[in-house]
Every structure is written in structure tokens, then in C-alpha cells.
Chain A
Amino acid sequence: MRYIEHDAVVKRMNSRMVVNKVFKGFFIFATSLALLALVILLYRIVTQGAGHLSIDFLTNFASRFPEKAGIKAALIGSIWLMAVVAPTSIILGVGSAVYLEEYAKKSRLTTFIQTNIANLAGVPSVVFGLLGLTIFVRTLSLGNSILAAGFTMSLLILPVIIVAAQEAIRSVPKELRDASYGMGATKWQTIVKIILPAAIPGVLTGSILALSRAIGETAPLIVIGIPVIIQFLPKGVMDTFTALPMQIYDWSSRPQQEFQMVAAAGIIILMAFLIIMNSIAVAIRNKYDKRY
């Protein structure tokens, strides 16, 4: 007795092939739609903003006249912000990930912490803004400084970095740990010399994605009261500042048509900033990428 009737299989072959093709088409369509949206967006921004891009645009402060408006304060402000956010969030994030993966014993408490870190990654950024306002701006009296904004942004992206770093650490083969411990290395030596170097590509990919998010976030900055128009550059982390997305948000909400162009030019600068950051990440990742 045979269960597969080959004649029937051949008969049904046509409809199977049709279904096969239909779904292939659908997947191509889905990808193209996303690509198309991106292309339209880029085209619109570049055609609108390119005309306004100039050295003056980079070196001028904000102005009520669109032709004089520049992005200097926001650009430098965003660099300052990143200078606080990157070390704070990466050191704390990788530290937490190392603790959770290498030190913490599996218990109900660690499972609970684990679940909550994953959940925190989904909390809206405006909520983190309120948290930053309460803790850093008011309780610690940091005011609307770079430090307060940087810490708030660090809190916002910390969960993402922790989860990414944990995954990177977990993917380091157990055999490498065994080899290191087997020679009498301490846990710290094993972490520093074996685990972290092997985990760096994954940690960096996650961190840069998270930092890219921080650089584009506006809501937490608005909540902690970061000003939009500033006519000076910050001299230290305790000074106030403004950031690229704040500036762009302000320009695009102005009634004059010309400011839309200025906003588009600001977006080009923001995207260039992101591309530079991502390239650095890719470069470092390629340097450290080793197969096991």
C-alpha cells in the first residue's frame, strides 16, 4: 500500500507552483514598498534642503531670518550630548550585561530583572523624559544641562544596549571560557581577555543602533526643558545646549515656507552624523570580527 500517489501529486503541482510564485511576488512587493518610501523621503529632503546647505549653515547660530539660520549650536550640542551618552550607556550597559551573563546565578530574581530590562526597551521615550526631569533636573539639581540630558538619554537606551551586549556575550563559545578557566585564569581575566574581545562586534552593533536612536530623540529633551534657540556654545557638561532634532523640530513648526528648507538641510546634517557614526561602528566591527 502506498501513501503517496504520484499521479495526484503531479496534478496538484500547478497550483503549488502558483502559490509559490504569488508569495515570492508579495515579498518582493513588501521590500520594494519600504525601499520606495525611503527613496521618496531622501529625494524630498535632498531637493528641499540641498540649496540651503553651505559652510555658513554649519557656522551660523539660529536666526529668525531663514537665510541666516544656521545649525552650529545644535550640531555642537549633539556632539556634546553623544560625548556624555556614549561612555555612560556603553559602560553601564556592558557592565550590566557582564553581570547578568557571567556572575548572576539563575534565580527568580534574575529572571525578573531580565524580563523587566526587555520591557524597559519598549517604554515610550517621553516617559524617560519625565524620569530624567524628576531625578536629574530636579532632585540632583543638574538643571537643563548637557549632563542631565545625557543621563536621561543613557537611561533611555540602556535596556537596548544591555540586551544586545548580553546576546553578544552569550554567543561567545563555552569552549573558550573553559580553555581560559582551565589554565587558572580568574573570572575577570577571562572576561577582559577572552569574552569581551570576542563579544565586541555584537556589543558595538547594538550600541551604535542605540546611540543612533538617542541622537534622533526629541521628546525627552522637550520634557526636561532643553531650549531651542541658543546663541552660544556650551563650555562644559553643566551648560545648557540644544540638539539637532530639537532644532529641526523648531524649524519645521515655523509658519514661513523658507524654514521648511532650513529644516530639510538640518535633516541632511543629522543623517550625515548618523552615517558617520554607523561607519565607525562598521569599521571597528570589521577589525574585531573573528570567526570561532
Chain B
Amino acid sequence: MNSEVRSPKPERSSNSEGRRSEPASRVSGHLDGSRRDFLRVTTVLAAAAASGLVAENEAALAQGTASSSRKGPLVDTNITLSRWPERRLPLDETKALVAKLRSQGVTEAWAGSFDGLLHKDIASVNARLAAECHKEGRGMLVPFGSVNPTLPDWEEDLRRCHEEHHMPGIRLHPNYHRYQLDDPRFAKLLDLAGERKLIVQLAVSMEDERMQHPLMQVPHVDVKPLAVLLESRPGSRIVLLNWGRAVKSDQLPKLAGAGHVFFDIASVEGVGGVANLLKQVPDDRVVFGSQAPFFYFESALLKLKESPLTDPHLAAIRAGNAQRCRHAIA
């Protein structure tokens, strides 16, 4: 029911924490309709600018209301190239994906390959990934090769990722490759990756288990064994991707406390989800990840707007934490 026809209601505004403030008319005395309209329009434009949907002049206007900390580097730790096995995705051509990422201000994107989920010739998957990143990435795409420790001679794939393709890390899919994290081969993989100072990205899931193809029901990775493994491997760097549906909130502090574990935001849900995550893990462990092109890129970027974040937090999530993961610790 609208207030225009019912008994007049005092119009109230909310601050960024959602707490009620005084009725707007009482606060300013001059916040007339046109002023409110202006504020609303600029807010919408700022959101749209964040998603690259408004014309340049409109985006410039929106930037006037946006924090300057929204500028600067943006590292997307969670993109994937090639073809999702079950449908064509709007941005599954690398050139189009790169154009999209650039338009959104992404300066660096850590790329795995959908082919790494099911292909057995992992060596060719990784060679194609490296070549594609070099050819289309123009310095933005950073390849993270797949390693499947259930395949014979997987150690050679790891070596090639590091020595031939010069990758800074690898991406694992234990659920698609059908092993648990308490499997000794995973421990060995962590050891070898650690010796090479490779980042290990662990994709906890790729899609909501309820929406999976009936012929490809893949459970989420159970991360419970990870904390114990990391306690004895202080040099390991782990980035958990797409963990939102699979990792319980009480597991988060344990994982963060066990070692250098980072959490991407692609699958973080709930109102104010990123701010809520910062209450559960240290603020230097949250990294930006979009899961593009499987997810709309804008989903992750807009989460940074939805949560009230300080400028230092924003800068850390956008790039600082990922850069530290990649460079400083190493």
C-alpha cells in the first residue's frame, strides 16, 4: 500500500548499516522530491557503472558518488576458459570474455579451463590454456593449469605447468576427478606444489548440485581434511573457489587459521554477504572471484557495492589480497 493514499507516513531513510535515521525531511529540511530523485538516480547509475552498462558520460556522473577506492586494480581469481560441458555460455569465447573483463576494470584474471573437468589428456588442456591466455589475454589472463592426481604420471603435468607454461598456480577439481582430500595423492600434490611455490586453487564446486545434469551428479568437495593437512604445510597457499554451498560457516575460521587459505566471493550469498564473510575470516583472506563466464561477472562486482566496506577492505578484496597471495608470500 502506498503512502500517497493512506494516512501520511513519515518518510525515513536508512544509513549504510541499515539503521533507521530520522525522517529525511527532519534531517535536511530541504530534501525535496527532486533531491531524492537525484540521489536515487545517481545510486542506480553507480550500480550500473559498476557493471559497465551505462554510457561513458553517465558512468562519469555515477563515479561522482562512488568511492575513489573503487578505482585501481581488480584481480579476478576465478574465471574459466573454453566450453562448459552442458551449455554454451554467453562469454565462452576468450576474446569476448577478455573484452568484458576489461570493460569492468579487471586488470588480472586467473584462468582455469572447463576442459580440465572431464578431459583425460590434461597436458593438452594445459598447453591450450597457456597458449590461449598468451594469445588473447594480452597480459591480463594468468593460466592456472589442471592437475588430476588420479591419472598416471600426474607429476609431469605439474612440472609442465610450472616449468614449461610458467604458471603461478594450478586449479584442482577433486570432485570431478573423484578423490577425497584425505587421499594420500592429494597430500603429495600439496607437497610438490609447495616445493614449487605454486598456488593451489581448489574448486569446491562448479554448480549448484540441485541443478546438475541428471547424468552428471557431482558432489561438492568435502574440505574437512584440509585444515589438518595445512597445519603441517605452512608454505601452502590455497584459494578456495565456489565454496559457498559446501563449506559451513563454522569451518571458515578453522580453515583460515590452519594456513594460508583464501576465499573467493563468487558464491557468497545473502544480503551483505561479503561484509558477513569478513566477520568470519581475516580480512586479508578474501579475494575477488567472479566465476565468469559461468556466472554473470556483474554478480560478484555488485557484491562489493552491496556490502558496506571500508576503502582498505575494498582495495584488499579487489586486488591486494590476491596480489599478496601471488607475490608477497612467495
Q: Do A and B come from one complex?
A: no
Interface of B with A (CB < 8 Å)? none
Interface of A with B (CB < 8 Å)? none
